[in-house]
Amino acid sequence: MTVHNIRHGDASDGAEAVGGRLSRVDGPAKITGAAKYAVEQQLEGLAYAVLVESTIASGKVRAIDTNAAEAAPGVLQVLTPDTIISLRTAADWFGTPPPDKPYCPLARDISFSGQHVAAVVAETFEQAVAAAALVKVSYDETPSIVDLSDAKAGDGIPIDAMTKEWGDAQGAFASAPVRICAAYNTPREYQAPMEPHGLIARWEGDQLTVWEPSQWLDGMARTYAEWFGVPFENVRLVSPYIGGGFGSKALALSHGAVAACAAKMLGRPVRLVMTRPQTFTGYGGRAATRQTVTIGADRQGKIQSIVHRGVNETSMDGMWVEPLGSVTSIMYATPNFSSRQNVVRVNSVMPGAMRAPGENPSAFGIESAIDELAYEVGIDPLEIRLRNYAEQDPHAKKAWSTRQLREAFATGAERFGWARRTSEPRSMRDGNQLIGWGVAAGTYPVRRAYGEAIVRILADGSVEVESSSIDMGQGTYTILAQTAAETVGVRADDVVVKLGDSRFPRAGVTGGSRLAGVMTGAVYKAATSALDQLVGLAISDPRSPFHALQANTLVVANGRIGSPRGDGPDVSIAELLKSVGRDHIEATGDTMPANSTPEDRYKNYTTIAMALPHTEGDYSRHSWCAHFIEVRVDEDFGTVRVSRVVSALDSGRLYNPKLAESQWKGGIIMGIGQALLEEGIVDRRHGRIVNNNLADYLVPTNADIPDIEVISVGIPDLHSSVLGGKGVGELAIVGVAPAIANAVFHATGKRVRDLPITLEKLI
């Protein structure tokens, strides 16, 4: 968790300051294998748990025969709904008070294939695997609803909170001279992080320690505490590194409850790691979605009305809403608008958050539809976007805090060479390859929340930062080191950032691209107050060499303290602390409102109820981007290869451009996978995902990815965060799939409205 003494970057190139291109400080530990992930902890007496999952999609468990498993070598216990200890239901992530009923993480009532029904704990992992295969479960099966296209699925439940309407959308559509209407579908997609989900749970009395990859230590610790009815303080979550989450590691899940129950019942630490196939049913990926987008426009392509209807699937007993009108309602200026959404229950695990939930499928709809409109009216797809440019938030009717989307279009088009595009489909080719150029925009709201951090200046002059936030590869360790270094006046090398322990000062969820903005703000505040204390001591302590100077301020830079004019003493921070007899200085900083109560703080860090709306106050805050993508489609084979990507992005001020660019590229790569490869395929008779492994669920390989050019067009946005940044991590995936679909249309003349765009859809 602690990254020590690693030289990174060269102070002379400014990499160490906020905004510098410092390389990831945790990189060497990860590359050399020194980084210890949660389930790699070596604990005395560790036992191993393996899950048994339902093989039907709907029905009831009739009986579980555990005799053979119990008799198998090394088996310590077999947990079933009947034998596992009873837990209390925990509040959801909004903190809504839960129903007062027990919670059992092993199911008797089956609502999807792959639901946990039993678990075997043994001395070794192999013994647990072997015994788990001996657990015999019999079922009373009932008919299931497989997916959105199931005849029994129906229209679903209207979600009124998702309704957005202004003007007379239907009327304006009916009278518009140009009308387009099309349906766009996205399949189940999976986060597929390299590190599968898993944990080690250990009880000492009524104190629980959980080592688990987590995007939200405090939220998950609260859930464990509520399940077991122990105080929040009794649960410690440790999550020093996370091997990818993409939204899937923010909540404590039923497998975690099983492991913690097993540890408690057994009085031994228990490790449980999902197999790769289990990661497809143990928690939810992105919900499958259906949208219809109708646009009414005049002959110049100016939009008069947008009518949008969306549906996403959810599970039988959980409610997941994937906000499908989120981009539809803000991307273009339209006088009349209507968006509504239903949610349909199917026999699947409850879907969950996956990189840009809502915005991602929403953009696939509207950004494909606007391309269709462009062809309908015969206007360049870039030009039609500019003609309908929204000068303010069309929904909230507020000014944008910053919106560099016009700049993104201009810069991206210029670098891509968009002006050379011939508009006719199938008009560009190279031998058997049809070439297509597509454009699409993306956006993601600035989600703001609060965080706290401790900054300590230690006796040796080094600086320590602590926070319970996490780094799943996005660069928290690095940018917090840069923030503390710049604020205190030391080298980034001399800052040690400690994350991933719920004992540290608290942080909310690492999701919604909010963490960098939140935590740089908190560290900036803590570091500023640590610096004030340091300078205060130097000026006022009689033992300080600066005491005689009678200065009213001092300068700290590169770990040394001096007077602003350079006269008088020049001592290191270590020397000063020694002279005044202090072994450290410590300051806590948080971004909570000053009058916050302890209850407010607890709620803020353990639920998402207190996140600030992005339209709070006078402004509407979002990141923006424009993707320009070239594809080559083999005319005979229908294979699509992305050959060029230029994306211009507005994430406001970048705390570290190198890391932001990596995040953007990662989002674009994931978008290429979404557009061309990713799809959970369901056996309709069994309601089961059959391509539940990484040989059959395809994510892009290096060979699928061309050079990607990303260009920052952002400017500091102080309405969005303390230091001027907007969200980075989720933005870039939004709009990639429609840009590719639009390029495929340009190449082939075929409009593919169902993702992914696989070869059989084009031959």
Phi, psi of 484 (to 5 degrees): -65, -40
Using CB under 8 A as the binding rule, the residues of this chain from 46 to 65 that contact another protein are 55
Nearer to another protein, 129 or 178 (CB): 129
Nearer to another protein, 226 or 630 (CB): 630
534-543 long-range contacts (CB < 8 A, ≥24 apart) are 534/457, 534/488, 534/561, 534/573, 534/576, 534/585, 535/561, 537/576, 537/580, 537/582, 537/585, 538/576, 538/580, 541/580, 543/579, 543/580, 543/581
Q: Figure out which of the listed residues 164, 264, 688, 746 binds another protein, where binding follows CB under 8 A.
A: 688
Least Å distance, CB 80 to another protein, is 17
Structure tokens at 484: 């503390």
Q: Figure out which of the listed residues 157, 182, 698, 722 binds another protein, where binding follows CB under 8 A.
A: 698
| Pairing state between β 47-53 and 708-712 | unpaired
Interface segment toward another protein; rule CB under 8 A; list 12-20, 38-46, 500-508, 696-704: 696-704
The answer to whether residue 643 forms part of the interface with another protein (CB under 8 A) is no
Q: Residues 189, 313, 464, 730: which is the catalytic one?
A: 730
Least Å distance, CB 699 to another protein, is 9
d(CA 590, CA 525): 7
Task: State how far the alpha carbon of 399 is from the alpha carbons of 75, 330, 392, 405, in Å.
Answer: 63, 12, 5, 14
Running DSSP on this structure, what letter comes out for residue 13? G
CB atoms within 10 A of CB 9: 20
Least Å distance, CB 26 to another protein, is 25
Using CB under 8 A as the binding rule, the residues of this chain from 399 to 438 that contact another protein are 432
Torsion region of 83: left, alpha or beta (phi above 0 gives left; psi -120 to 50 gives alpha): alpha
730 is catalytic: yes
Least Å distance, CB 761 to another protein, is 9
Nearer to another protein, 204 or 696 (CB): 696
d(CA 431, CA 386): 34
The answer to whether residue 636 forms part of the interface with another protein (CB under 8 A) is yes
The answer to whether residue 121 forms part of the interface with another protein (CB under 8 A) is no
The answer to whether residue 160 forms part of the interface with another protein (CB under 8 A) is no
Using CB under 8 A as the binding rule, the residues of this chain from 744 to 763 that contact another protein are 756, 758-760, 763
Q: Which residues, listed in sequence order, are joined to residue 350 by a DSSP beta bridge?
A: none
The answer to whether residue 685 forms part of the interface with another protein (CB under 8 A) is yes
d(CA 694, CA 673): 13
d(CA 155, CA 398): 34
Nearer to another protein, 60 or 560 (CB): 60
Interface segment toward another protein; rule CB under 8 A; list 284-292, 333-341, 474-482, 680-688: 680-688
Interface segment toward another protein; rule CB under 8 A; list 337-345, 443-451, 514-522, 701-709: 701-709
What DSSP assignment string belongs to 194-206? Answer: SSPPEEEEEEETT
CB atoms within 10 A of CB 424: 10
d(CA 254, CA 269): 17
Nearer to another protein, 131 or 350 (CB): 131
Q: Figure out which of the listed residues 61, 130, 287, 509 binds another protein, where binding follows CB under 8 A.
A: 130
Q: 489: closest CA among 518, 461, 520, 459?
A: 461
The answer to whether residue 683 forms part of the interface with another protein (CB under 8 A) is yes
d(CA 713, CA 405): 8
Structure tokens at 494: 């001399």
Least Å distance, CB 14 to another protein, is 38
Q: Figure out which of the listed residues 236, 681, 751, 754 binds another protein, where binding follows CB under 8 A.
A: 681
d(CA 743, CA 675): 11
Structure tokens at 646: 């230029």
Nearer to another protein, 31 or 548 (CB): 31
Least Å distance, CB 147 to another protein, is 13
d(CA 93, CA 603): 10
Q: Which residues, listed in sequence order, are joined to residue 444 by a DSSP beta bridge?
A: 623
Interface segment toward another protein; rule CB under 8 A; list 300-308, 384-392, 420-428, 673-681: 673-681
Q: Figure out which of the listed residues 413, 682, 741, 755 binds another protein, where binding follows CB under 8 A.
A: 682
Least Å distance, CB 68 to another protein, is 13
Least Å distance, CB 192 to another protein, is 14
Number of residues engaging another protein in binding (CB under 8 A): 40
Q: Figure out which of the listed residues 333, 574, 690, 722 binds another protein, where binding follows CB under 8 A.
A: 690
Site residues, another protein (CB under 8 A):
55, 73, 113, 126, 129-130, 133, 277, 432, 634, 636-641, 676-677, 681-686, 688, 690-691, 695-696, 698, 700-704, 756, 758-760, 763
Catalytic residue annotation: 730
